[in-house]
Structure 1
Amino acid sequence: MSLLSALLPLLAVYRAGIAAILRQLGRRRRCPPPAAFPTQNGKVAIVTGGAKGIGYQTAKHLARLGMHVIIAGDIESEGQEAVRKIKEETLTGKGHCKRAGLEFLYCDLASMKSIRQFVQQFRAKNCPLHVLVNNAGVMLVPERKTEDGFEEHFGLNYLGHFLLTNLLLDTLKQSGTHSHNARIVTVSSATHYVGKLHLNDLQSRCSYSPHGAYAQSKLALVLFTYRLQHLLTANGSHVTANVVDPGVVNTELYKHVFWVVKVAIWMTAWLFLKTPEEGASTSIYAAVSPEMEGAGGCYLYNEERTKSADIAYDEELQRRLWTESCKLVGISDESSRVP
């Protein structure tokens, strides 16, 4: 791998990050108070990566609204601690609704076997599913593979959520109604604007760059969401799929950046970066806002619909990625019958 081919994705991602920071200055949104949205009593949500960061804030806010929230994560101790903290806060009167349920279920998104086991456990509960928040992810990790041999960014960030969503689709379809659609919310990022999708090398085997691999996984999530919404609409399903951009948020994801960047973040995060609570606001908006009822196929930033990368609207690329993803995770491609 040449020095230039390694530098180009790095420079593109940092350029996208700086642009996103400048864009969010003065436009940071805190989570709306629970009273801003209708109560969600009786509804069920799954939040991947809900034990910390943006996912934790999302899970907490949905629980405050009265939802039964299932936190899906791969570290049992963190998940149980998150459940304890959220329950403690909602039961002390700080929450909007005190009847919410909350639990942790193990799910390693880097393992197709673990995802299937998680879905089996969830189905055994015989409960509906009204909101799925595909939030978990890794960023700029060194080159390594998942349990199934996939490049980690692509395997965990994208393929894991692709499989999870497809395995839960029947339950989501059964739970949605004409007046209250079930909702799929997927977290991408501004780096998708500089992402390049290499259908012939989705695993980044030819030339690995953590920045390029991360941006590709985030672009794949946008393409996936648009194709998913197309299929849901074609089937007349009462389910919507949207993708959100949380902004540049101060979370543990930055542990793999250069030490110079770490120092800069440590010194300036309070001014330039969003807090996890602020970063969760658009996920929450997409999950429960009445304004998003029946609206799908949207890219949302700061609770507003905005334009994603031009390449994300390429319907042929969306279709080809979907078909290839079905092969990789071992599920049938029923979309082949939909134009």
Structure 2
Amino acid sequence: MPFVDKSKFFDPSTAPYYDPKTERRVAFITGGNSGIGWFTALHLYLHGYVVYVAGRTESKVLKAIEEIKEEAQKRKTTNPFGQLNYVYIDLLDLSTVPKAVAQFAQQEKSLDVLINNAGLMGVPYEVTKDDYEIQYQVNFVSHFLLTLKLLPFLQTAVLQGVTPRIVNLSSIGHNFEFKHFKPEENKLNKFPNSAYTWVRYGIAKASQIQFAKELAIKYPEILSLSVHPGVILGTELYNYWKTVPYIGFIAKGIFAAADKTIGVSNEEGSLATLRAALDPNLTLKENGDYLVTGGTIESPSGIASNPKYAQETWDWNIEQLNKRGFNV
């Protein structure tokens, strides 16, 4: 028997459907061309959302968009489909983030749902051209900047009587931040790298939870949530560890055992995100909460929950982005 109680998983069919011709709802998602992001984009499209799928490789995103449309036709529904649009963004290059927002602004004046979905996991130590550790930038900093730049569009939705939502894809891996590290320590590079890779991952994922909690305080009219989608072996996130000499053999065995016990599919992994994005039963009372596999609300680690640390993460990253000329 699996350890995950799938009977409690969120059912997307219980969420409202919208006709894009009469009641336009707009969503923006990073990394919607593969994995759980693909299924998240699919369900948003099935629910009538105008979905902007942001990614680095145009051919991959456009291919995914066509595949999502094909899959939607196979699903038995009489509800109108939404729309799917491509937006260029490279989370390894912060300069592309304002450009992506500018591209979005050419088409839309408001935004109902922002899903910071794309990410990296457990990759070797590397510093980006923007001078951040690679996992910290891709998982957190680029989404931090994207969210701040899209806030005016979310606030416009508030003026239109909608409670917009921001969803940060975190992970149970945020627990790898085994003690509090100051945000300026994101480039932590210690021996053995095979262990500290996961600590760096934990720092980035804990930061996403802290970000959601701080957004809930600073923008209480917007529902901001973080999610752990589940243990999903059918993504590209584990590829690096499967190929590492010697360790890769052990990793494959661990991943296989995890898949049989606590693993979920990509579509099941999207359900926590979909509940955060679509469930009308979630209200501003849940602002800042953390959802886990299937959409159940739980408590993250003490480090991720600490309001002092969340404020510290916010302040340092604002300072750093301003130093880099992004004016946030």
SS in 2 for 1:292: coil
Instruction: Confirm or deny that 1:210 pairs with 2:202.
Output: no
SS in 2 for 1:305: strand
Describe the shift of the 1:319–1:62 C-alpha distance in structure 2 as closer, same or farther (beyond 3 A). Answer: same
Alignment check: 8 A CA contact 2:12 2:274 kept: no
Counterpart in the other structure of 2:311: 319
Counterpart Cα distance in 1 of 2:8 and 2:46: 15
Residue 278 of structure 1, aligned match among 264, 268, 275: 268
SS in 2 for 1:149: coil
Q: Deviations over 1:16-57 (max 9, x none)?
A: xxxxxx9x7241369755532111331010111100001111
Q: What is the percent sequence identity of the aligned residues?
A: 28
Counterpart in the other structure of 2:302: 310
Alignment check: 8 A CA contact 1:255 1:262 kept: no
Alignment check: 8 A CA contact 1:29 1:281 kept: no
Q: TM-score, normalised by structure 2?
A: 0.86
Describe the shift of the 1:246–1:96 C-alpha distance in structure 2 as closer, same or farther (beyond 3 A). Answer: farther
Describe the shift of the 1:47–1:30 C-alpha distance in structure 2 as closer, same or farther (beyond 3 A). Answer: farther
Instruction: Confirm or deny that 1:227 pairs with 2:191.
Output: no
Please list, as runs of the form range in 1=range in 2, the aligned pairs for 1:168-247 lying within 5 A after superposition.
168-177=150-159, 180-195=162-177, 196-199=179-182, 200-205=184-189, 209-233=196-220, 238-247=221-230
Describe the shift of the 1:50–1:96 C-alpha distance in structure 2 as closer, same or farther (beyond 3 A). Answer: farther
How far the C-alpha of 1:320 sits from its partner, in A, is 1.4
Counterpart in the other structure of 1:27: 5
How far the C-alpha of 1:313 sits from its partner, in A, is 2.6
Alignment check: 8 A CA contact 2:127 2:187 kept: no
Describe the shift of the 1:289–1:190 C-alpha distance in structure 2 as closer, same or farther (beyond 3 A). Answer: same
Counterpart in the other structure of 1:299: 290
Describe the shift of the 1:92–1:311 C-alpha distance in structure 2 as closer, same or farther (beyond 3 A). Answer: closer
Alignment check: 8 A CA contact 1:34 1:96 kept: no
Question: After the TM superposition, which of the residue ranges 40-49 and 156-165 deviates more from structure 2?
Answer: 40-49
Counterpart Cα distance in 1 of 2:255 and 2:106: 44
Please list, as runs of the form range in 1=range in 2, the aligned pairs for 1:124-143 lying within 5 A after superposition.
124-143=106-125
Number of residue pairs matched?
307
Alignment check: 8 A CA contact 2:47 2:81 kept: no
Counterpart Cα distance in 2 of 1:291 and 1:160: 30
Instruction: Confirm or deny that 1:156 pairs with 2:138.
Output: yes
* Structure 1: runs of 5+ lacking an equivalent: 1-21, 334-339
Describe the shift of the 1:271–1:77 C-alpha distance in structure 2 as closer, same or farther (beyond 3 A). Answer: farther
* Structure 2: runs of 5+ lacking an equivalent: 242-246
Describe the shift of the 1:30–1:277 C-alpha distance in structure 2 as closer, same or farther (beyond 3 A). Answer: farther
Instruction: Confirm or deny that 1:329 pairs with 2:312.
Output: no
How far the C-alpha of 1:159 sits from its partner, in A, is 0.3
Counterpart Cα distance in 1 of 2:8 and 2:110: 29
Counterpart Cα distance in 1 of 2:174 and 2:206: 4
Counterpart in the other structure of 2:244: none
Counterpart Cα distance in 2 of 1:306 and 1:33: 18
Output the aligned Cα RMSD. Answer: 2.3
